Structure formats: structure tokens, C-alpha cells
Structure 1
């Protein structure tokens, strides 16, 4: 655990007692604070009380006013669409509002670091899509070379729940926009921006607020090195703002699909090959086409980001390349869950928005596409070109399946509503060489608690129908 520093004797509110909230309360107590906890869910309050934490209704103005600060869990809105009432009280009364990420960055460094041969590093990854795979891939590469590495944040362990890093240790954080938006301290050594596509727009007041939340990771603390995906205008703008000039190699520009040029530090993937250029010279080239855990152009972008992050730590290209080949990928992200009669079954339940689904569709040919769910803002138009090029037929699930199918203009679509029907129909239609792909392009909450549960259902249905042939 990372005890929170500078809080001894302070009464600090903790709003939301899910995983991150409860860990924050423990870390605050370890640092000598007095956490005052609250959650609207009685079961969550009972769990906190069972650990000896004081609970109090933080919706009372006098209670909030007695706090030194308020720590808010990521799922609780602090500004848009409207602030949570407790947060609103804190804002009105001038009580500082923070989250566990802010506590982490202000508490991680220790006087013992002065005795280390190599000071610990923090690599923080954000972006709309690919941040989980990128973070996990960096962690995998570091483990492959025997480097002390811990994976935390929006993936792996809670940030305050990790062990204090030792000599040369690396902490790899996946950070969502919910986490970067509120943190009062953001000081990674290396910051990674994968890409940007419309998502969580209600939570951030539109696309500008969403980008601003991501940008804070780079603007607040000033990382020593920034790795920026430049396939969208926002990434190009961010790289430009961070760089002192074309040759400034504190900014590494990455891309998937376009050749980058100039005197700076560049990593890009084209036609299945990752290439690194620095100071106008090619440094390395890696063939990604045979890497099973990183299929498709979107995963090649993830590979570029992870490669660049590890290069900033001094790892050699061939060492990174070897680690790529042993990376198994993450569940629910282009995960091959079975094969039967020449048909592959791929679980990409994490493709919850249009951009992620389009990238998943572009990674495979002859697709029997299972899609649908709780549609997000913006419609489906942006994925139709990829669907027309790669999809043989769509099988639509979700409570609004009929409407979703209508929006798939030009794509043959069958309304199936539930996962069992969709998998059975796709399997019945599939021919050798086809891929049955779950890439919903929608949230899961109309039928499932989360995208993991949806992906697990897909995997279970596939396993049941192919008779244990999944692997």
C-alpha cells in the first residue's frame, strides 16, 4: 500500500466506497488521516464500517464543511452533466476535491529513493481506445526483461494498493478521462496518449471537455517524455503544444497507417511493420504480422505506443520484439476464444464505441458480426465503411436491436436480441474462413452489468456450441 502523505490528523471525506474508494480510505488511514466515508449503498457502508471506518452522511453541509478535503470515486460526476450533491457542497464551501490518482502522485516518492541506483518511474497511459492493451503490453515487456513492474489504475490493482516500488521499479498506470479530469496532482515520468474518439461526452460536457480531461495528464505535471498518437487532429495539436520544435525528442509521435517524417523521434506501423526513426535515421523495424496477441491496425498502434514507452527506459528493440511474441492479449479485446471447422470466434466486447468497433472490424475478413446494445451518441455512420468492407452479415443484440439494425444501412442484419440466439445464428451461417466477431459498438448496460459480463456470455455460448473446442 502507498500511505497518503501530508494528511496526519486530517478529517478527509471519501465519497463512493467501491474498489478505489475503499482503497483510498485505507491509504488515508495508513497515512494518519481520519477518513469519513459515505456511499448511498448501505451494503458498501456496512463493509467500510466492518473495517472500522467512520461513516457519515456527506450530504449534510456541516459535515462537508468540517472536512480538510473530499476524495471522490471516478464514477461520481463532479461537473457534468451536473455535480453530485456532495461534490456541489464541497465546491460551494471551498473544500478541496480530489481523487485517488491525485493522492497517489503526491504520495509515491519516498526519501529512500535517494539511495536507489535507478529511481522508480511512472508510465501513465490514457486515450479513448487501446489504453488497457497498451498498459498491459508495457507491463508484459518489462516483466519479460526482468524489470520490477506493477500494473494499476483503471486496470490491475488500485493505484494506492500497489507496493512501494523498489530500485528501478516501474509503475504502469492506465488512466481514464474520469480519473485524469479530477486529480489535483498528475506527474508521470512518461505519459502516453493513444488516440481520441467521441466517448463519455455527457460526463465531460462535449468533445472539448473530453479532450481537455485527457490533456491534463500532459499539462498539469509536465512529463519528462510524452508519447502521442497523431492519427487525429487532437493528437497532432497535443504533440505540437508539448514540443519545442520538430527535433524535440521529448515528444515521440506514433501512428498506425501513415508514414511519419521529420527529424524528431517517430514510431509508426504501416502494412504490418513497426518502424522507429530518430534524428532522421531509421533505428529499428519489427514485423508485427505474426504476433498473435496483437492483430489488426489498432493493435499495431498499441504496439507502437508500448514500444516507444519501453524505448524511453532504454530497452533494446530486439528485446521488445521478443516480448511482443509472448503477449497473449487481454480478455474481451480481440480475444480469440475458439475455433471450429475453420471458423474463428473473437471476443471484442470492449469495443463499446463506434471507433473501437470499426477498428475491430478492420482487423478481420469475412466477419459474422455480433453487435448492438445501449447505443452511444453520434450514430453508427463512422463504422459503416469498415462494416461494408469486412462484414458478411450482422446479428444484432440488445433491447433496441431493431432500431440498431435499421441504422446498419447497406449491411445485411438479423435481429437476434439475445447473445445465445446471435451466436447460434452466426455459427449456423458461418463458412470456413469466416470470423464470428463480437464487437458491439455500444454499451452493455441494457442487458449486462458491464462489458466483461457480456464478453463472458459470448465465450460461454461459443464454448457450449463448439463442444469444448475453445482455446
Structure 2
């Protein structure tokens, strides 16, 4: 645990008592503060009360009197589409609103560094797609290189739940737009921006607000080094804003779609080859085509982002290449579940939007595609360029028929549930094809989350493989 500093003897309101909220309450208490906790769920309040926390409804008259700050869980809307009433109450009372990420950076910077020969460093990764894989890949490579490292944030444990870092340790954080947008302190040593595609637009008032939230990690944080994916206009804009000139070595540009030129520091992936270029000369290259845990162009982009962050720390290219080979991938993200008679079964349940699903489809030459669920804003038109590799779609979800109608002339079977979809796809798949779960939709019509959906897919595949 990282004890929260700066609030010794003060009252701090904690709104939301999920994983990050409870961790914040514990860390505040460990740092000498008095947490006053609340959640709209009676079950969550009961769990917090069993740990001895004081339950205080911030909407009660006088509840925020004498409160020094309020920390808010990332799932609670703080501006769009409408701020939670308790947050508006904090604004009215003049109480600063923060979150666990802000408390983390504030408290880590106040640590006792006298015992460290090499101070700990933080790599923070954000973006629309690929940030989990990129963060996990960075952590894996650091561990393989023999460096102490911890992985936290939107993946793994909460930022305040990590152990106090040891000498020379690297903390790798995956940070969502929700987490970045509200944090009052952001000071990573290396910050990574993978890409930007439309997502969570209701929470940020549109695409511009969504990008603005991501941009705060760089504009507010002032990292020593920035690794920026420039395959979208927002990334190119951000890179231009950060660079002091064409050869600014603090900026590492990343692309998986085009060759980058100029005197700067670039990492690109083309036709399966990662290439590092500095001052117009190639410094290193890695063949990614045989890295089983990183299939497809989208994962090659993730590899480039991870490579850039690792090179920013001075890790040698050959050390990174060796570590790439042993990376197994993440659950529910291009996860290879099994293989039978030349048919591969892949779980990409995390492909909850059109862009992520398109990238998953493009990673395999011939696909039996399991898709469907709660469709997001923007429709399915973004999938059209990659549907040529799809032999047939097997649609699940409560609105499966409506989803199927939007797939045009593609051969489609409305299956509704996962068991039928997997059984039908497996029965019809031919050698060389991939049965791929890449829903292009949210899971909440049938599942609690994408992990549960992915587990159902794996369970159904296990039944097929057992026959």
C-alpha cells in the first residue's frame, strides 16, 4: 500500500467504494487522514463499514463541513453527461475533488527517497485501444530484464494498492480517460499514448473532450519522455505540441501504418518488422511475425509503444526482443484458446468497439467471426474494410437480428447465445481458419463484463475441443 500523504489529521470524503475507492480509503487512513466514505450501493457501504470506516452521506446538510478533499472513483461521472450530485455538493462547498491516481502521484512524490540509490520511475500508458497489452508487455519485458517492476492502475491492482517501490523499481500504470481526467497530480517519468478512436463519448462530451482527457497526462504531467502513436490526427497534434523541434529526443513517435522520416526518434512497424530510427538512421529492428503473443498490426503497434517506453529507460534492443518472444498475451485480448484440426480459436472479448474488432479481424487471414452485443455509437461501418477475411459471422446478443442486418451481404447466422455460436462456428470451420470472438459491442446485454463474456467463449471452446 502507498499511504496517502498531505492529509494527516484531516477529513477526506471518499465517493464510490469499489476496488479503487476502498483502496483510497485504506491508503488515506494509513497516511493519518480520517476517511468519510459513501457509495450509492447499500452493499458497498456495508462492506466498508465492516472495515471500520465512517459512513457519511455527502448530500446530508453539513456533511462536507471541515472536509479537506473528496476522492472519487473513476466509474462515477464528474462532468458529463451529468455530474454526480455529491460532486456538485463538493463544488458548492469549495471542497477539491480528486481521485486515487492524483493521490498516488502526490504521495509517491512525497516519499522518503533517501534510501534509494536510484529513485523509482513511473511509466503511464493511455489510449483508446491496446493500452492494457502495452502496459503488460512493458512490465513483462522489465521483469525479463531483471528489473524490479509493478503493474497497476486500470489493469491489475489499484494504484494505491501497490507495494512501496524498492530501489530502481519501475511502476507501470495503465490509465483510462476517466482516471486521467480528474487527477489533480500527474507526474509520470515516461508517458505513452497508443491511439485514439471514439469511445466513452458520453462521459467526455464528445470526441474532443475524450481526447482532452487523454492529453492531460502529457500537458499536465510534463513527462521526461513521451511515446506517441501518430497514426491518427490527435496523436500527430499531440506529438507536435510536445516537441521543441524536429530532432527533440524527448519525443518518440510510433506508427504501425506509415514510414516516419526526419531527424527525430521514431519506432515503426511495417510488414511485421519493428524498426527504430534515430537522427535518420536505423538503430535496431525486430521481426514480430513469429511473436505468437502479439498477432496482427494492432499488436505490432502495441509492441512499438512498449519498445519506445523501454528504450526511453535505456533497455537494450536485444533484451527487448528476447522478452517479446516469451510474452503470452493478455486474457480476452487476442488470446489463443486452443487449436484443433488446423482451426485456431481466439478470444478477443475486449474488442468492445468497432475499431478494436476491425484490428482483431485484420490479424487473421480467414475468420469465423463471433460478434454482437450492445452496439456503441457510430454504427458498424468501420468494419467494412476488413470483412473480406470473414467467411461467416455468428451473431450473439439480445439484439442479434438487428446487429446481423447491419453486416450487409456477409454470410450471417443469428445464434443469440455463445454456446450456439461456438458450436456452429467450430462445426463449419475449415483448416486454416480462425474462430474469433471479437464482438464490436459491449457485453452488458448478456454479461456483467467483457471478462465474463470471454470466459463463456473459452468454456464453450473447451467443450468443443473435448469432443
How far is 1:243 from its partner? 0.4
The answer to whether the 8 Å contact 1:227/1:253 transfers is: yes
Matched, 1:194 2:194: yes
Q: Which structure 2 segments of 5+ residues have no match?
A: none
Aligned residues: 467
Do 1:101 and 1:185's aligned partners in 2 also have CA atoms closer than 8 Å?
Answer: yes
For structure 1, list consecutive stretches of 5 or more residues without a partner in the other structure: none
Equivalent-residue separation in structure 1 for 2:178 and 2:103 (angstroms): 15
2:285 alignment partner, SS class = strand
CA distance in 2: counterparts of 1:88 and 1:239, whole angstroms: 35
Distance in 2 of aligned mates of 1:79 and 1:34? 26
Cα distance per residue 1:129-166 (max 9 Å; x no partner):
00000000000000001100000000011100111111
RMSD: 0.9
Give yes or no for the alignment of 1:118 onto 2:118. Answer: yes
Cα drift, residue 117 of structure 1? 2.3
Counterpart CA distance in 1 for 2:140 and 2:199 is: 28
The answer (yes or no) to whether the contact 1:370–1:396 under 8 Å persists in 2 is yes
* SS of the residue 2:109 aligns to: coil
CA distance in 2, matches of 1:117, 1:259: 40
Match of 1:436 in 2: 435
1:408 matched to which residue of 2?
Answer: 407
1:325 and 2:328 matched:
no
Offset, 1:112: 3.4
CA-to-aligned-CA distance 1:377-430 (integer Å, 9 cap, x gap): 00000111111x210100000111111111111311111111011111111111
Tell me which stretches of 4 or more aligned residues in structure 1 moved more than 4 Å: none
The answer to whether the 8 A contact 2:339-2:345 is kept is: yes
Q: Counterpart in 2 of 1:26? A: 26
TM-score (norm 2): 0.99
**Structure 1 equivalent of residue 286 of structure 2:** 286
Q: CA deviation at 1:116?
A: 2.3
**Structure 1 residues 287-326: aligned runs within 5 Å:** 287-326=287-326
Contact kept, 8 Å, 1:65 with 1:95, in 2: the verdict is no
CA distance, structure 1, for counterparts of residue 58 and residue 337 of structure 2:
45
Alpha-carbon distance in structure 2 between the residues aligned to 1:114 and 1:189 = 19
Q: CA deviation at 1:257?
A: 2.2
Native 8 Å contact 1:333 1:347 kept in 2: yes
Aligned-partner Cα distance in 2 for 1:153–1:221: 16
Deviation at 1:124, TM superposition (A): 0.1
Separation in structure 1 between the aligned mates of residue 409 and residue 62 of structure 2, nearest angstrom: 59
Q: Does 2:184 correspond to 1:173?
A: no
CA distance in 1, matches of 2:64, 2:392: 55
Whole-Å separation in 2 of the counterparts to 1:342 and 1:373: 28
**Map of 2:219 onto structure 1:** 219
Q: Does the Cα contact within 8 Å between 2:5 and 2:110 map onto a contact in 1?
A: no
Per the TM alignment, residue 111 of structure 1 is displaced from its structure 2 partner at its CA by 5.2
SS, match of residue 108 in structure 1: helix
Distance 1:430 1:346 in 2: 13
8 Å CA contact 1:23, 1:158 repeated in 2: yes
2:232 aligns with 232
Q: Contact (CA 8 Å) 1:70, 1:97: kept in 2 or not?
A: yes
CA distance in 2: counterparts of 1:454 and 1:132, whole angstroms: 18
Task: Indicate conservation of the 8 Å contact 1:200/1:210, yes or no.
Answer: yes
Structure 1 position 110, deviation (Å): 4.6
2:298 is paired with a residue of what secondary structure? helix
Deviation string for 1:205-253 (max 9, x for gaps)?
0000000000000011200000000000000000000001110010100
Q: 1:208 — aligned with what?
A: 208
Equivalent residue for 2:82? 82
Distance 1:85 1:436, change over 3 A: same
Question: Which residue of structure 2 lines up, in the alignment, with residue 423 of structure 1?
Answer: 422
Cα separation, 2, equivalents of 1:123 and 1:260 = 24
Where 1:239 maps in the other structure, the secondary structure is helix
Deviation of the 1:113 alpha carbon: 1.8
* Residue pair 1:65, 1:90 contacting (<8 A) in 2 also: no
Residues 335 and 111 (structure 1), Cα distance of their counterparts in 2 relative to 1, 3 Å cut: closer
Contact 1:61 1:89 in 2 (8 A): no
| Counterparts of 1:384 and 1:410, CA distance in 2 | 11
> Counterparts of 1:144-183 in structure 2 under 5 Å?
144-183=144-183
CA distance in 2, matches of 1:309, 1:230: 15
Q: Matched residues in 1 for 2:404 and 2:92: separation? A: 46
Which residue is equivalent to 2:42?
A: 42
Give the drift of 1:61.
4.1
CA deviations on 1:71-113 (whole Å, 9 max, x unpaired) are 1000000000000110111112221000000000000135532
Partner of 2:277: 277
Is residue 2:402 matched to residue 1:399? no
Cα deviation code 1:144-201 (max 9, x no counterpart) = 0110000000001110011111111000000000000100001100000000000000
